[in-house]
A and B are shown apart, each in its own frame.
Chain A
Amino acid sequence: MGFFLIVLPVIAVLLFMLFKNSIIQHTISLLTSSLLIIIAVYLTTDVMVLGSAHHTALGGIFYIDALSIIVLDIVILIGFMASIYSVSYMETEIKHGKIDRGRLRLYYILMYAFMFTMILALTVKNMGIMWIAIEATTLASAFLVGFYNDKYSLEAAWKYVLICSVGIAIALLGIIFLHLSSIGVLENNQFLDWIALYNNAESLKSPIVKLAFIFILIGFGTKAGLAPMHTWLPDAHSQAPSPISALLSGVLLNSAMYGIIRTVAVVNRNLGSSIYTGRLLIALGILSILTAAIFILTQKDYKRLLAYSSIEHMGIIAVAMGVFTPLSVFGALLHMINHSLTKAMLFLASGNILQKYNTKQISEIKAILKLLPISGTVFLLGLFAIAGTPPFSVFASELSIMVSLFTAKKFVVGGALALLLAIIFAGIAVTLFKMFYGNNQEEELQPGETNKAGTIVIVVLFLVISISGLFIPDELKNLITQAQNIIIGA
């Protein structure tokens, strides 16, 4: 069953190549993403009961456990939302003359290739193949970032491919060193196998493991958008079509962070403490949050602002992983889910705003609440949510990370984090809230939502993040605890 997860997007890509009719293409896309959801639900229950799912195909490289299923579910859920949203969004883009109809096919092919690479990265246990899949995510999404083919999007795409490919090449050097540290410990057929590495972590050669961790952190950190390697991220997120921005921010960053988390688990077990990885992760995390805070305060483009907010949240997850207590790891995983859903919702809502006003400049937008009553309201509340206001889910996970910092006696880091989060809240309020005031000067803009299905998606996501802020279902709690035990090894 789990095998279909990987095969389905490939079949979808082949079907897109066969059919030229756009109605058929939309149908294939919706069908594939719904089937993926069904398989994901099945696999999730499997993992909940059995703890992990193995497959014997191709030498047993496929492996899913609680940690990968959490990230995998996010990928498939947001992919599903993005595919519903895309139908009307892309039709409007064609109507406005931004792209011609032939490019719709390219859009879907690349989108499902992108989904495929992310699913592959999360379902293998071999670190080498995981690296290949994460590198392939860059290549699959490069033309999606440069989809509009104008000067701005091409510049963003060039930066994206080059910076991420070089970054990920450095991660490969780290993986080579990890492989080197395991020679003489593992059997030939176990090389780079995460489970074997983890089980034999104590006997790996520590000095080389330490070296490997630095390279992997920098490499995957580039892809996850940690400062100071984040420079591609605001460009790519702001220039891509909005459903793709949602995928990049909500899903891609998590896949890279997943690579870091897997490595941290091995390295901490090898070294016997989390001091070494903790210092590096906390330093990079705080630097990311600081960078995001500065740029959010002075931002003029709302999609770029959301992108900087993603850098901030990746920083928070890195800090939480650096603390490495059960509570902080639980918080980090919960934060991953909450940030993805909230940010995907915001990017989809910003797509509606972009299509209504046809500008990304904050200063040119007024009276969103009048023109876009539903997505405007959700966007406003979503901004509160992403800034960490109760009762939304981001608040819950940020609170548990904050508590874990103070119980681990990291008062300076905790204080700095609280201060920076306050600055970011103020920054979002100062720069973005003017979009909601004032009167619309231009007469041509008619009130009303254009993307009906997309708006329903946004509202559903909004309900999810509001409810999960107040209470987390026991099933999810158990799943995250399972994943936390995999990482910490309790």
Chain B
Amino acid sequence: MSSFFDSLSILILLSSFILMANKMSKSYIKTFRFQSFLIALAAGIMGIKTITEEGRFDVLVVCLLIIILKVIWIPNILSKAYAKAEYKVEKDFILNIPILILVCCTLVVFTYFSLATIEGINDGMINVQVVNSVLIGLFFMISRRKAIGQIIGFLVIENGLFVTAMFSTQGMPFIVDIGIFVDMITAVMVLGIMVFKINEKFESINIDKLSNLKG
């Protein structure tokens, strides 16, 4: 069982790399959907396991929530926001893709060795290298110019956190998990509305234009 989770965690990490290599905003959303699906799969299997072993069904509820929110609802709302806000296809990233991938590899190596020095961090069932997704998500945010890229980066960070929590501790307390989901829905709505407003005022969702406030 644990080798299965290990390979899933590697796949989730790989999907972050794929995201980094994406050129267009539409493909970011697709990759995000794929990554969320992998996470839902991991949560589903873990949920079945906890039901048979401990009789708790909260992990399965969380799995359902991931499917509804992260696989279906959020990607749809983002595609809609994107379709309304931007018609032109333009270059979105600052560095070119091979360099971005190389930086991501460095991040993974760095995290691997720094986590290896900490005692007890891998005591759980699964290796927590998936925490790399958080760093890659952060790096993704600063490497893209458009607002939509930043939202996706934020969601990937959230995905990374969720998987880290699930793999290292078998899930946070249930009420905390639910609260995090509520926060996430609100965050996506707030950011989505703001993208509309920014597009209205600045006639673009290019973040480079937001540079009036300094000093």
Query: Across the interface, do A169 and B198 meet the contact criterion of CB distance under 8 Å?
Result: no
Cβ-based interface call for B20 (8 A): no
Cβ-based interface call for B176 (8 A): yes
Say how far A274's CB is from chain B's closest CB, in angstroms.
21
Say how far B133's CB is from chain A's closest CB, in angstroms.
11
Q: Please give, as numbers and ranges, the residues of chain A lying within 8 Å of B201 by CB-CB distance.
A: 149-151, 154
Question: Which of A142, A166, A205 lies at the interface centre, i.e. has the most chain B CB atoms within 10 A of its CB?
Answer: A166
Cβ-based interface call for B32 (8 A): no
Say how far B185's CB is from chain A's closest CB, in angstroms.
10
Say how far A231's CB is from chain B's closest CB, in angstroms.
10
Give the complex CA separation of A237 and B168 in angstroms. Answer: 38
Cβ-based interface call for A136 (8 A): yes
Which listed residue (A59, A132, A211) contacts B182, Cβ 8 A?
A: A132
Cβ-based interface call for A428 (8 A): no
Say how far A193's CB is from chain B's closest CB, in angstroms.
9
Give the complex CA separation of A464 and B150 in angstroms. Answer: 44
In the complex, the chain A residue whose C-beta lies closest to that of B56 is A188
Query: Across the interface, do A172 and B180 meet the contact criterion of CB distance under 8 Å?
Result: yes
What count of chain A residues pass the 8 Å CB interface test? 52
Which listed residue (A173, A207, A238) contacts B164, Cβ 8 A?
A: A173
Query: Across the interface, do B154 and A295 meet the contact criterion of CB distance under 8 Å?
Result: no
Q: Please give, as numbers and ranges, the residues of chain B lying within 8 Å of A239 by CB-CB distance.
A: 213
Query: Across the interface, do B121 and A207 meet the contact criterion of CB distance under 8 Å?
Result: yes
Say how far B155's CB is from chain A's closest CB, in angstroms.
10
Query: Across the interface, do A166 and B124 meet the contact criterion of CB distance under 8 Å?
Result: no
Cβ-based interface call for B106 (8 A): no
A164-215, CB < 8 A from B:
165-166, 169-170, 172-173, 176-177, 179-181, 183, 191-192, 205, 207-208, 211
In the complex, the chain B residue whose C-beta lies closest to that of A299 is B215
Say how far B141's CB is from chain A's closest CB, in angstroms.
7
- Interface of A, helix, strand, loop or mixed by DSSP: helix
Cβ-based interface call for B108 (8 A): no
Which listed residue (A128, A139, A298) contacts B173, Cβ 8 A?
A: A128
Q: Please give, as numbers and ranges, the residues of chain A lying within 8 Å of B187 by CB-CB distance.
A: 135, 139, 161, 165
Cβ-based interface call for A143 (8 A): yes
Cβ-based interface call for A126 (8 A): yes
B 87-107 binary contact with A (CB < 8 Å = 1; else 0) = 000000000000000000000
Q: Please give, as numbers and ranges, the residues of chain B lying within 8 Å of A131 by CB-CB distance.
A: 176
A 51-63 binary contact with B (CB < 8 Å = 1; else 0) = 0000000010100
Assuming the contacts A136-B186, A139-B186, asked whether A180 and B194 have C-beta atoms less than 8 A apart, the reply is no
B141-187, CB < 8 A from A:
141, 147, 150, 154, 157-158, 161, 164-165, 168-169, 172-173, 175-176, 179-180, 182-183, 186-187
Query: Across the interface, do A180 and B121 meet the contact criterion of CB distance under 8 Å?
Result: yes
Which listed residue (A155, A173, A191, A205) contacts B119, Cβ 8 A?
A: A205
Query: Across the interface, do B194 and A207 meet the contact criterion of CB distance under 8 Å?
Result: no
Query: Across the interface, do B197 and A176 meet the contact criterion of CB distance under 8 Å?
Result: no
In the complex, the chain A residue whose C-beta lies closest to that of B164 is A176
Q: Please give, as numbers and ranges, the residues of chain B lying within 8 Å of A128 by CB-CB distance.
A: 172-173, 175-176, 179
A114-132, CB < 8 A from B:
126, 128-129, 131-132
Give the complex CA separation of A149 and B179 in angstroms. Answer: 29
A 224-249 binary contact with B (CB < 8 Å = 1; else 0) = 00000000001100110000000000
Question: Which of A176, A191, A299, A304 lies at the interface centre, i.e. has the most chain B CB atoms within 10 A of its CB?
Answer: A176
In the complex, the chain A residue whose C-beta lies closest to that of B157 is A169
Which listed residue (B119, B168, B172, B215) contacts A295, Cβ 8 A?
A: B215
Cβ-based interface call for A434 (8 A): no
Give the complex CA separation of A158 and B158 in angstroms. Answer: 18
Cβ-based interface call for A262 (8 A): no
Q: Please give, as numbers and ranges, the residues of chain B lying within 8 Å of A281 by CB-CB distance.
A: none
Cβ-based interface call for A159 (8 A): yes
19 new A-B pairs (CB below 8 Å) besides A158-B198, A162-B154, A176-B161? A131-B176, A132-B182, A142-B190, A146-B197, A154-B202, A155-B211, A155-B212, A156-B213, A158-B207, A162-B150, A162-B191, A169-B157, A169-B158, A173-B134, A176-B165, A191-B172, A205-B119, A207-B118, A207-B121
Q: Which 10 A-B pairs have the closest CB atoms?
A: A128-B176, A132-B179, A155-B210, A235-B213, A176-B165, A207-B119, A207-B118, A205-B120, A139-B186, A135-B183
